[in-house]
C-alpha cells in the first residue's frame, strides 16, 4: 500500500466500513455472494477510492462487478452515513476485481505440475 499515512488510514477506514456494509446491510444487492474487500486505494485528495474485491467462490464475477457498479451510489450513501463524523469527504467509488488470490492459486498449480528431475548423487571418497 502506497501513499501518505493519511491516505492509508482513510483507506483502512473505508475498507472496514465497505466490508461491514457488504456483510450486513447490502446482502440483497450481491445475492448473498461471498466477496471480500481485499484492498482500497485512495487518491491524494481523498475524493476517489479504488476498491479491489475478491470473489474466490463466485461463479459469475463480471455479473457481480456489474451489480456493484449499478448500486455504487447506494453503497456510497451507506458509506457516507457511517463515516460522516470521521471524514469530511465521502469519496467516489470504483470497484475492481482483485486477482491476487487467483494468480497465487494458478502459480501453485504450475509449481505443483513441474517435472523436476532429482539431482544426481555425488560420489563420496572415503
CATH number at residue 52: 3.30.300.20
Run of H or E including 54? strand 48-54
Residue 85 forms part of a structural domain: yes
Residue 121 forms part of a structural domain: no
pLDDT above 90 covers what percent of the chain?
Answer: 43
Question: Could you count the other beta carbons within 10 Å of the beta carbon of residue 89?
Answer: 13
Contact predicate 87/10, CB 8 Å? yes
- DSSP for residue 106: H
Question: Could you count the other beta carbons within 10 Å of the beta carbon of residue 87?
Answer: 16
Q: Per-residue pLDDT tens for 37-90? A: 999 999 999 999 999 998 877 778 888 889 889 999 999 999 999 998 988 889
Q: Per-residue pLDDT tens for 96-126? A: 988 777 777 778 888 888 877 777 877 666 5
Q: What is the pLDDT of residue 83?
A: 92
Q: What is the pTM of this model?
A: 0.76
Residue 119 forms part of a structural domain: no
Residue 117 forms part of a structural domain: no
Residue 84 forms part of a structural domain: yes
Give the 3-state secondary structure of residue 1: coil
From first CA to last CA, the distance across the chain in angstroms is 56
Amino acid at each position: 500500500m502506497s501513499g501518505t499515512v493519511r491516505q492509508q488510514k482513510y483507506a483502512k477506514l473505508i475498507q472496514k466500513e465497505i466490508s461491514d456494509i457488504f456483510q450486513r446491510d447490502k446482502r440483497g444487492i450481491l445475492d448473498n455472494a461471498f466477496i471480500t474487500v481485499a484492498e482500497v486505494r485512495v487518491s491524494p485528495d481523498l475524493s476517489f477510492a479504488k476498491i479491489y474485491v475478491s470473489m474466490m467462490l463466485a461463479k459469475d464475477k463480471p455479473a457481480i462487478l456489474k451489480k456493484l457498479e449499478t448500486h455504487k451510489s447506494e453503497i456510497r450513501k451507506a458509506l457516507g452515513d457511517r463515516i460522516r463524523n470521521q471524514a469530511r469527504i465521502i469519496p467516489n467509488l470504483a470497484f475492481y476485481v482483485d486477482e491476487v488470490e487467483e494468480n497465487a492459486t494458478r502459480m501453485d498449480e504450475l509449481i505443483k505440475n513441474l517435472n523436476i528431475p532429482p539431482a544426481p548423487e555425488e560420489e563420496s571418497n572415503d
